[in-house]
Amino acid sequence: MDLYEHQARELFVEHGIVVPKAEVTDSPEQAREIARRHGGRVVVKAQVKTGGRGKAGGVKLAADPAAAELTARQILGMDIKGHRVGKVMVAEPVEIEREFYVSYVLDRAAGGFLAIASAEGGTEIEEIAATRPQAVARIPVDPARGVTSAKAAEIADAAGLPPRTADVLVRLWQVLTREDALLVEVNPLVTTTDGRVLALDGKVTLDDNARYRQTRWGAEPQEHHDPLETAAAAHGLNYVKLDGEVGVIGNGAGLVMSTLDVVAGSGARPADFLDIGGGASARVMADGLSVVLSDPAVKSVLVNVFGGITACDAVAEGIVAAVDSIRLTRPLVVRLDGNNAARGRAILEARAHPLVEQATTMDGAARRAAELARTA
């Protein structure tokens, strides 16, 4: 469960981390009044649960209350990576001396947490991490020991952060552990010309398994998402809308990602990422297929399943149920392999739907789906 920036700031303040003064509103007129209360010159920031707001025009400096109202009017209603801006935060500006990046993230492979920090924070941190990885320190954190003052000093030293940021590193760890978080990020953490250390922006992702302990966030209205993603979420599906023409369904994130690559290598563009999971039932398969076929951009669909926990005959039954309940107007290519694959193929052969065909390999299935999309 991702939090909005203003919610992350709320947690920061509760744990003693200093943030600039700010208020949240959904009204341009109220943005003007907030700016007046904060001295006139403010920063207006879109409140959406995605990154890249600054580059998308969702973070702007306003010189006076009138400019704050105009800027809020421009930002409210914007679409930023499929998220519609319903609220803005109006914050006091600060005189920045230096910018840094700090975060704690769950490291599942290592069975612990990872502190990630850099002396070069800001909007270009992703590019810095990709082009100059040596500028980003990655320090393992033992969850049993946590981030003590000594550990915080180690992280700061490794990343080239000023020693006075160590206290913030300790407090961010408290946010992570006490608030059931999987990710806590500040970008940028800044030192100011008047000697303060401030968290200018914050991102917090809470563990969905702890929702029953984090009920205070449940009442917050959600910003707009793509309607297909909303429909998929209602069915508990892991679906991401892309901008291609070949719908992709698979079981397991790794297999789906590989399928996207193979589709792209076949000269077509994937229309989505849809992982039906490791133990998907026929009902889940039918729900997933219905969501993918609801996308008007989809010209063909590729179902790529390797049977393990998910039995291929259950997948086949889901496909049959879906094509029998909806009017299938676009071709469907199915590749089944693994657990009960022969039985699954037999189920599809018996149904003999004219728009459903099978392939024996992932490469062959992708090539055929791409070909059908091009000729649709």
Active centre residues (catalytic): 101, 185
Rounded Cα gap, residues 123 and 191, in angstroms: 16
CA dihedral 122, 123, 124, 125 (to 10 degrees): 60
For residue 293, which phi and psi values (nearest 5 degrees)? -75, -10
Structure tokens at 109: 């492979």
| Alpha carbon distance 87, 91 (integer Å) | 13
DSSP conformational letter for 146: -
Q: Which amino acid is at 338?
A: G
φ and ψ at residue 68, rounded to 5 degrees: -65, -40
* Cα–Cα distance measured from residue 154 to residue 10, given in angstroms and rounded to the nearest whole number: 27
Tokens of 15: 């744990």
**CB within 8 Å of 190: residues ≥ 6 apart:** 94, 96, 97, 98, 99, 100, 121, 197, 198, 200
307 forms bridges with which residues in the sheet? Answer: 338
Please tell me the distance from the alpha carbon of residue 192 to that of residue 18, in angstroms, as a whole number: 12
**Per-residue DSSP letters for 298-328?**
-SEEEEEEEESSS-HHHHHHHHHHHHHHS--
For 176, phi then psi, to 5°, come to -60, -50
Please identify which residue in the block is written with the tokens 């940021």: 165
304, 285 contact by CB (below 8 A): no
Q: Which amino acid is at 281?
A: S
- Classify residue 195 as left (phi > 0), alpha (psi -120 to 50) or beta: left
* CA atoms of 66 and 302, how far apart (whole Å): 53
Query: d(Cα 81, Cα 50) in Å, to the nearest integer?
Result: 7
